[in-house]
């Protein structure tokens, strides 16, 4: 992407800035690119035309544009109304305030970001960075967590001073930062006084399963509804929060799975009952490919009664009391009247 950007923007003032420069210095894979230019709109359109990406306005207020590729990579073009030093002075942390000419050359590092990277130090550029954009409170912890850095003393004091602002950013922006935290990142949020205002709390459930969505449910519980989460995450949260530990018999395992699948293992972890994992895995492996009966084989009007009957039959099948289609039909006769004999 860098080579193509150099070709497209040849002869123009353009700088690679922010996380792209930081990640290069850390030897991390370059996934997304951020380029500061005089005319971001035109640069994005020219780059999209040359690369096959899709351009769109990222921020009408700030004039930024983004080019997105099918594999998820992005290239952002941000405005450069003044000098590159002026641009860097508006950023959050010294490690993100390093720029290098797109065409090649020595980096510009007015705040000593490279030295901070060497020392594994996360340092704010100024005392107002969190008041200027409170999302940076979460970003500070996320950068510590992802890059194995540590806030310097002055920046940590600023975080604690401004912790009450943490609820102000838009929910979508907060969620994007929270999803990237490890269990240790959440503990750091808590230690800095940032977690409680968001409605989160730490307990031993946090470490029982390793996934971003699980951690969100473990930390926020019912308070997760305050964030604009996906429908899938809402269903996961509902499954985990309503789950009750099953007994070890086949019938209980079946009922548990009906209530919480496809998250049965996560639910066991949430409940502190992971010792039952082999029973869940065995039940999954032994689950029949086809049901013994379908709803249209029951001579009943459409409605919840059909679903109830089929569910009971599958439970009896899991418990081993029903094995054949004939036995399933007999169960249906006993519990709901007449069924068709054909089919």
Model confidence pLDDT, tens digit, residues 296-319: 887 777 778 888 888 888 989 888
Which residues face 64 on adjacent strands?
59
Which of 241, 242, 239, 216 lies closest to 229, judged by CA?
216
Kindly report the pTM of this predicted structure. Answer: 0.87
Pairing of the two strands 150-151 and 121-122: parallel
pLDDT in tens, 122-155: 999 999 999 999 999 999 999 999 999 999 999 9
The CA distance from 89 to 110, in Å, is 8
User: What is the mean predicted confidence (pLDDT) over 87-114?
Assistant: 94
Distances (CA, A) of 248 to 16, 256, 279, 280: 58, 10, 7, 10
The CA distance from 318 to 103, in Å, is 66
Query: Quick one: which H or E segment has residue 136?
Result: helix 135-147
Which of 96, 180, 188 lies closest to 141, judged by CA?
188
Q: How many CB atoms lie within 10 A of CB 11?
A: 6
pLDDT in tens, 173-210: 999 999 999 999 999 999 999 999 999 999 999 999 99
């Amino acid at each position: 992407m860098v080579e193509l950007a150099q070709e497209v923007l040849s002869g123009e003032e353009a700088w690679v800035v922010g996380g792209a420069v930081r990640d290069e210095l850390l030897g991390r894979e370059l996934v997304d690119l951020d380029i500061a230019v005089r005319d971001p709109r035109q640069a994005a359109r020219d780059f999209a035309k040359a690369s096959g990406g899709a351009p769109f306005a990222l921020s009408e207020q700030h004039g930024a544009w983004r080019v997105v590729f099918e594999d998820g990579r992005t290239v952002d073009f941000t405005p450069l109304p003044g000098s590159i030093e002026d641009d860097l002075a508006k950023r959050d942390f010294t490690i993100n305030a390093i720029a290098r000419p797109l065409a090649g050359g020595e980096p510009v590092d007015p705040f000593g970001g490279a030295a901070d990277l060497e020392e594994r130090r996360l340092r704010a550029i100024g005392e107002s960075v969190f008041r200027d954009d409170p999302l940076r409170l979460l970003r500070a912890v996320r950068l510590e967590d992802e890059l194995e850095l540590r806030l310097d003393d002055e920046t940590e004091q600023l975080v604690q001073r401004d912790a009450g602002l943490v609820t102000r950013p838009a929910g979508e922006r907060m969620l994007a930062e929270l999803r990237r935290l490890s269990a240790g990142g959440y503990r750091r949020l808590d230690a800095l006084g940032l977690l409680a205002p968001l409605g989160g709390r730490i307990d031993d459930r946090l470490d029982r399963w390793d996934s971003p969505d699980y951690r969100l449910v473990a930390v926020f519980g019912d308070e997760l509804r305050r964030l604009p989460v996906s429908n899938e995450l809402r269903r996961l949260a509902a499954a985990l929060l309503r789950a009750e530990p099953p007994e070890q018999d086949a019938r209980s395992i079946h009922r548990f799975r009906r209530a919480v699948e496809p998250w049965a293992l996560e639910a066991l972890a949430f409940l502190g009952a992971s010792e039952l994992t082999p029973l869940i895995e065995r039940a999954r492996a032994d689950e029949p490919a086809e049901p013994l009966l379908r709803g249209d084989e029951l001579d009943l009007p459409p409605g919840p009664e059909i679903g109830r009957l089929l569910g009971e039959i599958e439970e009896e099948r899991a418990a081993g009391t029903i094995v054949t289609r004939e036995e399933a039909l007999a169960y249906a006769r006993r519990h709901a009247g007449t069924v068709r004999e054909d089919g």
